[in-house]
Structure 1
């Protein structure tokens, strides 16, 4: 090999002459460390906390819901707590709660894996016998903790602005839209998700101040609990990014890369979910009551109509309802002014959020937060055709309040030439006055609205005020009249309750002619309250025709046929109730009883004419299993 072609590693080092004429090697330049693509940020300055403000907001949050502490169960509390057999087992049921969907006992596969809230209900069953008063107090304490840590987080974000951060937290805590979450025990999953997300960001901020990696691990732990509370916490990944970019002044790419520990936690959670319940998305039903926009193929335009509705509820939370199912909000159309308003306001606010966010403006951060956290609620109609719910605004309220108060503060500073060193009343006087008035009105509305959640009868009848066109509200109200009728002894009063129930049930089927649950309630009324066998059978069959997976309808038909001695038909319908809902215990009990008595296990619909006669010596059921009607 020629010298010309020798590789560099085989060449001798260069030499230079010395004063004596000898040669010695030339020194190599000192090696340089490779520079990282992105420089490691310096630790943030430790920002002190004024704890008194945090304590004040916590007390206010607790006090706002003190009038719920004597309430009972309402709405989905019954299905999530008393009808959940694993919750009713207490601590013993916790392993099963970790392996089942949220609505396992309601025969609904929505793909919801939220065991943490259910575990808290099981613990309350174990130690407090499921006392709803204790559960409401615990909800109040969780809400108070939320307010406390929210103030701490806001002070970290905006140091030296304790008054502004306290006002933001006050309006957030006082907003009446939170009543559906705090006053409803079942919605603890929403509260826990938000509380843990606050702790995720607070502990990560501690890492930004100290650069101690242990805080990242602690933050990732809170993220895991956030996911166990509610899967929609996935939007928290975006919140961590925008927090760093806006308030820690980090490069956006750095902020994006830094969430890799949370991505690992996300992967772990969804692996656990798939392993435990066997699905990531579930198999949600498509029915007119809860998913009307999918059936009408109007999901896209209705999404913008929902956005307009959400803005209305954020600004004027007056006309509130626990239910917005079919047909409270008709489908969105281009000829509908509300849809157009939602479309243009969505586009305008997105543009405004984009501009404000890249400028690191607090109001821009607030709008961005609002859109990120509103994604699950808007996605529910856009992808599944589902209905509007006030609980979807629990987290977006913070972004909305942040944007409004930060924007007003900036406007006042520019117009009145105010400075941070000015006296508090001069600097924040107008803003304080605004928040006292609005917060006072919000607080009054919240306390009044809390009373609607006292029990099902009160809540459902309150829905008639602003959602009288809801098929669900009318069915719920009717079921409460049915329960009153079943307990009433006076024949005249009993007939009055019966008529009230039938009126609302027929109203429900007028709104939604295919509403199987409403037909079931009519049938039950004719079976148990004012007996009419033919009407009961007819409406049970109507219920099955409309909702073929509604197990109680099959079971109650079986009870009727068993009472008439048509045992083969009874066995068949008991089998059908178990087939459509393996967790339905009444159907299983009746099937087991009949099989033990006669050895019957009929799985194919028999010719009813062959089994008319009552077999001698076989007892018939004295009563139909008592039903407290499920809400959803």
Structure 2
């Protein structure tokens, strides 16, 4: 009866004495006997490597993993890392811990219709720990991933040595292949791949503890008992926890059951098949398998309950084959994808972070040549299974069967066999199955070494080490792709130019860094490859909205046609319609955007602005308040609400909102400027000046310089205004606005000729600039050049016929003054009259118009306007004198009329 022990038992060929230490002998002809789980197998020495304990080889595996991934430490948060970590509130310690267990991997509630339904709370907890110690510094996240990969590589080496190969050299080679395999770069260099690494760690721990919990001693029945039930329970719990890290981690429970049947109870199962009857002897195996099955079923029920019985909302972009209407297309394509995944393990030359859309064209016909690869692959699988079950014995049988099990079972959830998945190929999914590949490859090479002489065995060993070196080099090179968003997305376009998603992602990056022309090119490429890509149409529209609003409008409509639930497209379409003054349709589009996404804060703000423009302030207020409620930590929402309050003249409340905005974001310069304007409206000049200076200490903004300069000018500080405008001119020497205001300050200081020279220079370059015409006309008026002043005032009025009433009234009033000084009474009267019609509250214009009527002897009209001016300004001495003169004139006229009547 063979004895199963955790250390290998080697029997001397010349006697029957057991020895607890492995005996190493030189030469390919020397044999060693290895006892494994109740059976004894005689094998030859394997790879030509030094004889070292497994712990030494594990150290070199750890070192290889570290060397391969050291250059990933400097990587950033890229691709899915941004959504799972940077934009995920569940990662932050300030968020209640319970949220982690109610939300999906991306921070959305599992009950949300937009949830990805990926439930991985234990992985999120590790991100949360990273955040506690290093915030969003990517180094800590990458360091943790590499350390975990090192641990998994070492544990894998240990597990297959203890549970399968019982040969440190073969286990070392398998561990090296796993540690360096380039297929793992997405899982290790991409931070969200931690879910796969952790799931694999729990997977291996489950297998190791499960086996150790079972009696190491053979029994007459061939079904060893569970000698350590507590350890067995821990193994089952670890298997269950694996699912809470990554969904396919739960397959470890199937793998351990398979290991139990194939290896631990091999003799008992064989005896049952021979006798063709089942006895109570197999009860220990049945109990263990039942525990695994019950746990699996419970986990599935829990998972379905968490998902509320709904699958995540994938689209044909994510997994085109699953949306194919023809069942044959689906079957052939899914079968070929299995082949393609195995090919990536065998030859990891072409790797990509994304394989969606047309990266792998559908297999739509039996005549497609790729079907030959599929047929060949499945024939090999069947051949290996037949070989392992009916031909191979001992270690070969166990290695091939377990290699196939570890390769296939963890991959099944990603195969579309049971449910639709949200990807075509995902390299990180192969992290666990790659262990099966390593087992099969190493076992095959091991057999070759055992069947050839030492020179060829040395050549094989050298070749496999060369393969490891090539894997390591490819991994190091591939890691550099994951350093930044740009390098990652650019690599996708270079590797898979037919992948519309790769062009779309790269275009998004280019848009974010303001490389607009390149972004437009790649958005157009996306739409050429996949015309129905709603988000690409929407994003391209946002880049063209300023220069080509009609084209942008068509793109937004195209996005909505392809995805009616695209809230952003409705929002952007509404913005275009508002700019085109199609207010009813704009309002409808904003409301549709909010209907689709009631939490869309920007849509509430823009709808509020539109309603205010339409004269519906109360409705507008409700939407601004809603945006504040939705984004209580967003400083912009309070700034926008303050702007709304400013527009409806609630200045004090506006100040409160601006101050709250600055309490959330002290460097919010827009809120500082808005607060300064509100405080200036309320007369708090000193704080206004401090705010403008605070903005300028953050950013040398010439617009703020103009505002501060105007403040200095209006508070009789022209020298300070002059110095500030000169600084602004040095920053923007071609700015017509700054130079015009500078000329106004120069005129204030008494240098009229220099001011006129500056303004003539501005008008020489910008002859249609109305403000410069206004300023130069005022200066000409001061210097008595009324004719020149009239030329520029008329130019200003003609250039801006849609001026605000108050501004236009002021210009017409000044024009009337110039006509009056030129003794053109009729023209002066008409100008004053037009000014008064636009602004009846201008007392001086009323008085001057009355004076013109007075001079033209229209005493009735003169009195009307004198009285209007008196009501506005009863203390005006000139007005009082004019009224007295009018009264004397009226009295004299009355007496004259009486005398004529008496005559």
Is the structural similarity TM-score above 0.5?
Answer: yes
Contact kept, 8 Å, 1:94 with 1:122, in 2: the verdict is: no
Q: Give runs of aligned pairs for residues 173-184 of structure 1, distance below 5 A.
A: 173-184=179-190
Equivalent pairs, count: 547
Q: Any idea what SS the aligned residue of 1:261 has?
A: helix
Match of 2:416 among 379, 400, 404: 379
Match of 2:299 among 254, 258, 269: 269
Higher relative contact order (CA 8 A, sep 6+): 1
The verdict on how the C-alpha distance between 1:558 and 1:335 changes in structure 2, with shifts beyond 3 A counting, is same
| 2:569 is the alignment partner of 1:553 | yes
- C-alpha displacement of 1:402: 1.1
- C-alpha displacement of 1:195: 1.0
Match of 1:185 among 171, 184, 191: 191
Name 2:512's counterpart in structure 1: 483
Give the distance between the partners of 2:415 and 2:386, measured in 1 at CA: 19
Q: Any idea what SS the aligned residue of 2:357 has?
A: coil
Name 1:70's counterpart in structure 2: 74
Q: Per-residue CA shift, 1:555-585, capped at 9, x if unaligned?
A: 3334455667777655544443444345655
Q: Give runs of aligned pairs for residues 316-355 of structure 1, distance below 5 A.
A: 316-332=347-363, 333-355=365-387
Q: How well do the aligned residues superpose, as a CA RMSD in angstroms?
A: 3.3
Give the distance between the partners of 2:197 and 2:256, measured in 1 at CA: 18
Name 1:94's counterpart in structure 2: 97
Q: Any idea what SS the aligned residue of 2:366 has?
A: coil
Give the distance between the partners of 1:427 and 1:344, measured in 2 at CA: 29
Name 1:501's counterpart in structure 2: 519
Name 1:241's counterpart in structure 2: 257
Q: Per-residue CA shift, 1:254-273, capped at 9, x if unaligned?
A: 65652333334334434443
Give the distance between the partners of 1:592 and 1:550, measured in 2 at CA: 21
Q: Any idea what SS the aligned residue of 1:65 has?
A: helix
Contact kept, 8 Å, 2:577 with 2:583, in 1: the verdict is: yes
Give the distance between the partners of 1:370 and 1:511, measured in 2 at CA: 34
The verdict on how the C-alpha distance between 1:121 and 1:94 changes in structure 2, with shifts beyond 3 A counting, is same
Give the distance between the partners of 2:402 and 2:456, measured in 1 at CA: 22
Match of 2:172 among 138, 157, 166: 166
The verdict on how the C-alpha distance between 1:474 and 1:547 changes in structure 2, with shifts beyond 3 A counting, is same
TM-score normalised by structure 1 residue count: 0.78
- C-alpha displacement of 1:76: 0.9
Name 1:404's counterpart in structure 2: 441
Q: Per-residue CA shift, 1:26-66, capped at 9, x if unaligned?
A: xxxxxxxxxxxxxxx99941237832322321232122111
Name 1:258's counterpart in structure 2: 288
Task: Indicate the structure (1 or 2) with the bigger Cα radius of gyration.
Answer: 2
The verdict on how the C-alpha distance between 1:83 and 1:365 changes in structure 2, with shifts beyond 3 A counting, is same
Contact kept, 8 Å, 2:504 with 2:526, in 1: the verdict is: yes
Q: Give runs of aligned pairs for residues 67-146 of structure 1, distance below 5 A.
A: 67-87=71-91, 89-90=92-93, 92-103=95-106, 105=108, 108-146=114-152
Give the distance between the partners of 2:312 and 2:419, measured in 1 at CA: 17
Larger displacement relative to structure 2 (50-59 or 583-592): 583-592
Name 1:291's counterpart in structure 2: 320
The verdict on how the C-alpha distance between 1:256 and 1:521 changes in structure 2, with shifts beyond 3 A counting, is farther
The verdict on how the C-alpha distance between 1:296 and 1:381 changes in structure 2, with shifts beyond 3 A counting, is farther
Name 1:455's counterpart in structure 2: 484
- C-alpha displacement of 1:554: 2.7
Name 1:445's counterpart in structure 2: 474
Give the distance between the partners of 1:273 and 1:593, measured in 2 at CA: 44
- C-alpha displacement of 1:128: 1.6
The verdict on how the C-alpha distance between 1:334 and 1:51 changes in structure 2, with shifts beyond 3 A counting, is same
Contact kept, 8 Å, 1:43 with 1:209, in 2: the verdict is: no
- C-alpha displacement of 1:110: 4.0
- C-alpha displacement of 1:289: 4.9
Match of 2:155 among 125, 149, 152: 149
The verdict on how the C-alpha distance between 1:311 and 1:273 changes in structure 2, with shifts beyond 3 A counting, is closer
Unaligned runs of 5+ in 2: 9-52, 217-226, 270-281, 624-643, 650-668, 671-903
Contact kept, 8 Å, 1:81 with 1:121, in 2: the verdict is: yes
| 2:499 is the alignment partner of 1:470 | yes
Q: Give runs of aligned pairs for residues 520-599 of structure 1, distance below 5 A.
A: 520-527=538-545, 531-560=547-576, 572-581=588-597, 586-587=602-603, 598-599=618-619
Give the distance between the partners of 1:320 and 1:554, measured in 2 at CA: 37
| 2:458 is the alignment partner of 1:429 | yes
The verdict on how the C-alpha distance between 1:156 and 1:164 changes in structure 2, with shifts beyond 3 A counting, is same
- C-alpha displacement of 1:124: 2.2
Give the distance between the partners of 1:593 and 1:198, measured in 2 at CA: 58
Name 1:53's counterpart in structure 2: 57
Contact kept, 8 Å, 2:265 with 2:285, in 1: the verdict is: no
Q: Per-residue CA shift, 1:395-430, capped at 9, x if unaligned?
A: 2211112112102212331344xxxxxxxx889634
- C-alpha displacement of 1:593: 8.1
Contact kept, 8 Å, 1:460 with 1:477, in 2: the verdict is: yes
Give the distance between the partners of 1:585 and 1:147, measured in 2 at CA: 47
- C-alpha displacement of 1:591: 6.3
Unaligned runs of 5+ in 1: 1-40, 417-424, 486-496, 603-613, 624-632
Q: Per-residue CA shift, 1:419-457, capped at 9, x if unaligned?
A: xxxxxx889634431221000000000000000011111
Give the distance between the partners of 1:321 and 1:76, measured in 2 at CA: 14
Give the distance between the partners of 1:395 and 1:585, measured in 2 at CA: 42
Give the distance between the partners of 1:256 and 1:378, measured in 2 at CA: 29
Contact kept, 8 Å, 2:89 with 2:95, in 1: the verdict is: no
Name 1:301's counterpart in structure 2: 332
The verdict on how the C-alpha distance between 1:150 and 1:594 changes in structure 2, with shifts beyond 3 A counting, is farther
Name 1:26's counterpart in structure 2: none
TM-score normalised by structure 2 residue count: 0.56
Contact kept, 8 Å, 1:90 with 1:124, in 2: the verdict is: no
Contact kept, 8 Å, 2:384 with 2:400, in 1: the verdict is: no
Q: Per-residue CA shift, 1:588-620, capped at 9, x if unaligned?
A: 666688899542589xxxxxxxxxxx9x9579x
Give the distance between the partners of 1:176 and 1:357, measured in 2 at CA: 32
The verdict on how the C-alpha distance between 1:245 and 1:263 changes in structure 2, with shifts beyond 3 A counting, is closer
- C-alpha displacement of 1:81: 1.5
The verdict on how the C-alpha distance between 1:426 and 1:292 changes in structure 2, with shifts beyond 3 A counting, is closer
Give the distance between the partners of 1:301 and 1:110, measured in 2 at CA: 27
- C-alpha displacement of 1:324: 1.3
Contact kept, 8 Å, 1:516 with 1:546, in 2: the verdict is: yes
Contact kept, 8 Å, 2:253 with 2:296, in 1: the verdict is: no
- C-alpha displacement of 1:392: 2.6
Contact kept, 8 Å, 1:46 with 1:209, in 2: the verdict is: no
Match of 1:220 among 230, 236, 261: 236
Give the distance between the partners of 1:126 and 1:432, measured in 2 at CA: 46
Give the distance between the partners of 1:270 and 1:296, measured in 2 at CA: 28
Match of 1:390 among 418, 422, 427: 427
